[in-house]
Structure 1
Amino acid sequence: MSHRSIYLLSFILLVFTACKEGGNKTETIDEAGSKSVKLSETALLDTVQKQTLKYFWEYAEPNSGMARERFHPDDNYPKNDKHVVTTGGTGFGLMALVAGVERGFIPKDSALARFDRIADFLESTPRFHGAWSHWLNGETGEIQAFGEKDNGGDIVETSFLAQGFIVVREYYKNGTTEEKAVAAKFDNLWKGIEWDWYTNDKDGIYWHWSPEYEWEMDFMIEGYNECLITYVLAASSPDHAIKANAYHDGWARSGKITTGAEAFSYPLILKHNTRGNMGGPLFWAHYSYLGLKPQGLSDRYANYWDLNVNHTLINYEYALSKADSSETYAENSWGLTASYTRNKDNSIGYTAHSPDNDRGVVSPTAAISSIPYTPEKSLAAMRYFFEEQNELLWGPAGFYDAFSLEGEPWVSQRYLAIDQGPMVVMIENYRSGLIWDLFMQAPEVQEGLKKLDFQFTK
């Protein structure tokens, strides 16, 4: 049996499993008399969550248990790239695994052992004033430099990772003796991050520091982009908290973060770090909000639910405005975010797609991870990707990372941790609010939000 035949058989079994209970499927007959199976909303969400979770469960780096930076099903990686693991993507994966345990997609005992292995691996790797580097070698635990001077602590990736620490801790803290022990390990990792060090004694947080280059990267984190969670966690730290003025004067640019700009009649609310006024890539509406619940969250600068709903709708309306001149964009085919991309020679590159950087490439994670903000539109996109573009897009870890239908249909038959994780987590937040509830119940997070003058209503 060929590899393709095995894969198709696996797919049929997956769909059969998702549909086997009554009410989870409907059969239709088209004009040609062919039968097709349409999954119910529940079965569709189960199928997408479960298959996408495989990225972090079945295809994780085997030694560390961490999330690989990328997964190539054909096993064709650049030199040494197969064992590169991502700290931020692993944070997303921790939250995705919690959702998988709660839904019964993965065995409880095995999941607990995986969490334990990840915690032990992270405890053994180099840290830079408590922060981890962007990349690590999953086999050796050594630093894998992200760039020439980016070979030390990355406080933004560390914040994505710490968001996962808190979720895992909250999930297990009142459990069995073994579960409490794992919760304690993640608690210690979280509490050891020296957020205040990364202010460089200034009013703001600096993204990078390394022993070799110190502060030479000189990148202070100013909004608005994907980094709100970095400031929230930095203010929430029990022992290494930043002062509130780092948020207000640094991130919020002394109040200059706000804007009156609109796109497609939707207020942008905050000034995105882009050239134009149609919003940045959609991962800005996802990464900080996997644990941080935007619903009911506001401060002196924004209502964060409105901010993210508007950002998503602008992204959607932009794609719709291009539909007449595009083979890729349509009512159910939309979503611009950072992902693999199609180069002019049809090779695979990487870029942060947005209305300001449009290459006619849709990333399924963009629409799917926006499901709490635009449920009907996101579900319609998910169904289109799964039912109408299945042969092109569906693979061993869910939807492939990006595609284009301009001219010859193109797909990157690859995956990225930072794109797969948000899909599992945001689908779960849409379905149950589980990850939001776990993160927001953490006492330190509640205190940190108060410190920064946020208001939060459940």
Structure 2
Amino acid sequence: MTRNCSRWCKKPASVIIGKLGIRMPEWRLKFCRAMKILSRWDHPVLASWRSFHGVWPHFLDGHTGKTIAYFGKYDDGGDLVETAFLVQGLLVARQYFNRNTKDERELLDTITALWQSVEWDWYRKEPTSDFLYWHWSPNHAWHISHPLVGWNETMIVYLLAIASPTHGVPASLYHTGWAGQSELAVRYRQGWGRTTHGDHYTNGNTYFDIKLEVGVGTGGDLFFTHFSFMGFDPRGKKDRYTNYFNNNRNLALINRAYCIANPNKRLGFGENCWGLSAGINSGGGKPNPREENGTINCMASLASFPYTPQESMAALKHFYHEHGSKLWGIYGFRDGFNLTENWFEDVNMALNQAPIVVMIENYRSGLIWRLFMSNAEIKPMLAAIGFDDDN
């Protein structure tokens, strides 16, 4: 979300602090300071965010706080999806920093105020809309007009919008928007997927002998199975469409099976070298021949640890032992590599680093899942949508 930021600011605080010895005063101080900055609506620059109806922009300058219209002039307002990712993390932190001290009580109050200030209902565009919308700008209003339609990374937006205690939306929007069957929703899926498989949200087809209940085509980028599920725990529950833990596992296995089949004859693809997802130079990052350019994205397999622990561990060992310093550095694994074109990325992208850290911790201990799900607003939201136990 920020640029010109220290290398740690993108990392999940609860994981970092836990690994460094838990409750280190300097980390609490840094996190408290960050929350104070985010909550200073009276600041002459930060006050502009209030006009986004409690929603933060996609990018902002880490020195000045000014919005960066990175994707063009119309991207100068609130970004509901990026805000949902931030709120997902804040609600984890709210449960983690729970000591009865002045600093942590203030931190809890600040996070709660930020969470309650997000006007999810404003981003319906119209009071009777069946969808939530990605962007809104005080200068260009709904010009982008991008509805949030699943299957993709935006599930957490609907979950949080329905859970909101102050600006909530009806639980029915989960079914009319995220899992919608309307003509608009079907055209949307057909447009990006270029297939009718899964265009009504549910799929039901089998790929590489693996059945996919929800997903467009062969499922799309693997980050769809990570971003909304860093805090939301999909284990042991299902809605009327699927059990998302099982579905995410199948998505990862389909992705790996595609790399093993390797229809484009990419150099290096195989049972231990797999993982297609969006990246800096991924060329699409989807498991179908027309939408991958031979790039392996490290996050794709490594952030899938909870779903495919053996397969993900094999990929991790392959990346580390076979490619060494070409792929591994002081910030972890680099974004990706392409052996067919003979290059390795020389950068680490925070957007892909964070899911690796969080999802490995969820596999190891379930920490982030447990903290997020312990928020009082989550259980009633799941009941309202119609999630049932599925053990």
Q: Structure 2 length normalisation: TM-score?
A: 0.87
Runs of 4+ in 1 over 2 A off after TM superposition: 103-107, 124-127, 173-177, 323-326, 455-458
The residue that corresponds to 2:372 in the other structure is 439
Counting only pairs closer than 5 Å after superposition, residues 1-400 of structure 1 correspond to structure 2 as 61-62=5-6, 67=9, 90=10, 93=11, 96-104=12-20, 108-124=24-40, 125=46, 126-127=48-49, 128-146=52-70, 147-200=72-125, 201=127, 202-254=129-181, 256-272=200-216, 277-322=217-262, 325-341=265-281, 351-356=283-288, 357-400=291-334
Q: Give the match's secondary structure for 1:132.
A: coil
The residue that corresponds to 2:337 in the other structure is 403
**C-alpha contact (below 8 Å) 1:121/1:141 kept by paired residues:** no
Q: Give the match's secondary structure for 1:338.
A: coil
Q: Give the match's secondary structure for 2:105.
A: helix
* CA positional deviation for 1:105: 6.1
| CA distance in structure 2 between the aligned counterparts of 1:374 and 1:368, rounded to whole angstroms | 9
Residues 103-155 of structure 1: CA deviation (Å, up to 9, x unaligned)? 22677212112211221222232321110010000000011113221110110
Q: 1:141 to 1:296 in 2, by over 3 A?
A: same
Residues 242-275 of structure 1: CA deviation (Å, up to 9, x unaligned)? 0122111111114831122221121221132xxx
The residue that corresponds to 1:414 in the other structure is 347
The residue type paired with residue 333 of structure 1 is: C
In structure 2, the gaps of 5 or more residues are 41-45, 183-199
| CA distance in structure 2 between the aligned counterparts of 1:447 and 1:60, rounded to whole angstroms | 39
Tell me the C-alpha RMSD between the 2 structures.
2.1
Q: 1:154 to 1:456 in 2, by over 3 A?
A: farther
- Overall identity of the aligned pairs, in %: 38
| CA distance in structure 2 between the aligned counterparts of 1:98 and 1:172, rounded to whole angstroms | 8
* CA positional deviation for 1:391: 2.2
Q: Structure 1 length normalisation: TM-score?
A: 0.75
| CA distance in structure 2 between the aligned counterparts of 1:60 and 1:396, rounded to whole angstroms | 18
**C-alpha contact (below 8 Å) 1:333/1:384 kept by paired residues:** yes
**C-alpha contact (below 8 Å) 1:268/1:310 kept by paired residues:** yes
| CA distance in structure 2 between the aligned counterparts of 1:266 and 1:108, rounded to whole angstroms | 46
RCO comparison, higher one (Cα < 8 Å, 6+): 1
Q: 1:326 to 1:254 in 2, by over 3 A?
A: closer
| CA distance in structure 1 between the aligned counterparts of 2:320 and 2:14, rounded to whole angstroms | 24
| CA distance in structure 1 between the aligned counterparts of 2:311 and 2:4, rounded to whole angstroms | 31
The residue type paired with residue 120 of structure 1 is: K
The residue type paired with residue 239 of structure 1 is: T
**C-alpha contact (below 8 Å) 2:238/2:390 kept by paired residues:** no
